[in-house]
Structure 1
Amino acid sequence: MNAKTMSAQGPTLLIRANCIGRGDDELGLNLMMNFIFHLTKAETVPETIILMNSGVTLASEGSEVLDELRELERRGTSVLVCGTCLNFFNIKDQLKAGHVSNMGEIATTLLDASKVITV
């Protein structure tokens, strides 16, 4: 039995920023780190996590949630990281979790998902 079949398959998460909510960025970053940490503790892991805009920094060198993203990958979650966004922030060579994706793959993944949650 592989890691993906050991966990129930969850929704697709669209993460559009490195923090949750608007207002204080430090609070928002803390909320995002806590959210991703708790995803690793859940019985059901996301089928896919899509990182867009500043959300791509979560999978890049120096991120405080790299271990959590790698654990989710180990459990079967596919982590798609927007290549255009990585290029915009000039951090493509710093990607440490997930794989570089493109808008075609991201659009298809969103359209094919049974449930999408935007964070």
Structure 2
Amino acid sequence: MGYVLLVTSKGFGKGEEILGEKLMYSYLYSLSEGDHLPSHILFLHEGVKLVTADAPVLNILKTLVDKGVTIYACGICLDFYNLKDQVKVGEIGNMYLNMDIMAEAEKVITLG
């Protein structure tokens, strides 16, 4: 297994929320255009909002799935935000799955 992305928020970095969301969009778009794709992207905490119906990165994530990236969104987190029925890309995962994927990865990169 190559590397894994762990996405824990809607935006990239701390500070201005709108800037962070633009940076996350830009990062994921750049990733989808590149050659160095992760094996998995794990969405936890507020990051799960990026796999739902209104997410501005939804089409980018669908492109990544089409290119072979596996996407999991945290079930506990989706329940917390009442978003389980709004997932539009990837699968609903759990902490056991996250733990196994991260343990087997060569590297885990956290975005948040």
Instruction: Output the TM-score relative to the length of structure 2.
Output: 0.96
Aligned to 2:110: 118
Larger radius of gyration: 1
Give the CA deviation at 1:44.
1.9
The residue number in structure 2 matching 1:102 is 94
* Paired residues of 1:16 and 1:51 also in contact (CA < 8 A): yes
Q: Which residue of 2 aligns with 1:84?
A: 76
Establish whether residue 49 from structure 1 lines up as the match of residue 41 from structure 2. yes
Q: Measure, in 1, the Cα distance between the counterparts of 2:97 and 2:26.
A: 28
> Is the CA contact 2:4–2:39 (under 8 Å) kept in the aligned structure 1?
yes
* Contact 2:2/2:105, CA 8 A, preserved across alignment: no
Indicate the residue corresponding to 2:28 in structure 1: 36
- Residue 4 of structure 1 corresponds to which residue in structure 2? none
Deviation at 1:10, TM superposition (A): 4.5
Query: 1:10–1:44: 8 Å Cα contact kept in structure 2?
Result: no
Greater RCO (Cα-Cα under 8 Å, separation 6 or more): 2
1:109 deviates by 0.4
Corresponding letter in the other structure for 2:50: L
Unaligned runs of 5+ residues in structure 1 are 1-8
Unaligned runs of 5+ in 2: none
Tell me what 2:5 maps to. 13
Residue 109 of structure 2 aligns with an amino acid whose one-letter code is I
Q: Could you tell me whether the CA contact under 8 Å between 2:44 and 2:74 is conserved in 1?
A: yes
| RMSD of aligned Cα (Å) | 1.0
Q: Does 1:69 align with 2:61?
A: yes
1:6 maps to which residue?
Answer: none
Deviation of the 1:46 alpha carbon: 1.1
CA–CA distance in structure 2, aligned partners of residues 94 and 116 of structure 1: 27
TM-score normalized by structure 1?
Answer: 0.90
1:1-36 per-position Cα deviation (integer Å, ceiling 9, x unaligned): xxxxxxxx7410001111011111111111001111
Matched residue count: 111
